[in-house]
Structure formats: C-alpha cells, structure tokens
Amino acid sequence: MLHSKGKTKFHELLLWECFFLLVISVSCTPPAEPVKCSTKDSNCTITNSYGMFPDRAICRAGNVAYPKTEQELGLPTDEP
C-alpha cells in the first residue's frame, strides 16, 4: 500500500513539473509594431507584421498621421 501511494505521489509531482515546464517554455508575443519612425512621426517604415500584404516587402513613408477623432477616420488622406 505504501509503495503504491508513493508511486502515485511521484507521478503527480512529475505531471505538475511537466505542466510547469510547458507553461514557462511557451511564450506568446504579439507581432512587432507595423509602423516604426526614426523621428516622432516622420521617416517611417511600414512592415507586414500582421500578414495583411501578400509579400514581406518593407515600405517607406515620409510621415505618418493618426486620426484623433472618429470623424477623421473617414477623411481622405490626400488632403494637406
């Protein structure tokens, strides 16, 4: 009886150890920021970090503008 109980404890400890190692070895990280600028909002590169484009090319942009209100989302981007 004692041998069987010790064996069960050993298996339980082994399972917990395997579970713990699995948890710490698996790391989830979000993709990198798709827009990176060398100065505040200018001299930027745009990458395909979310897989939205069919290729992995890096695009360059002179500057980046982010909308501040919901109405600005619908404005055309070619306005100065």
Position 19 in a domain: no
Q: How far apart are CA 27 and CA 20, in angstroms?
A: 13
Confidence of residue 2 (pLDDT cuts 50, 70, 90): very low
Indicate the pTM of the whole model. 0.47
**Cα–Cα distance for residue pair 42/70, rounded to 1 Å:** 23
Residue 57: domain span = 35-65
User: What local confidence, expressed as pLDDT, does residue 1 receive?
Assistant: 43
- Rounded (5°) CA angle 58-52-64: 55
Q: Which structure tokens are listed for 52? A: 């939205």
On whether residue 39 sits in a domain, the answer given is: yes
Residue 44 lies in a domain: yes
Asked if residue 11 belongs to a domain, the reply is no
Average confidence score pLDDT of the chain: 79
Number of domains in the chain: 1
> Strand, helix or coil at 35?
strand
The half-sphere exposure of 62 on its side-chain side, counting CA atoms within 13 A, is: 0
Kindly state whether residue 42 falls inside one of the protein's structural domains. yes
Domain-located, residue 46: yes
Q: Decide which of 2 and 16 is more confident.
A: 16
pLDDT tens digit string along 47-63?
887 777 777 788 888 88
Question: By percentage, how much of the chain surpasses pLDDT 70?
Answer: 84
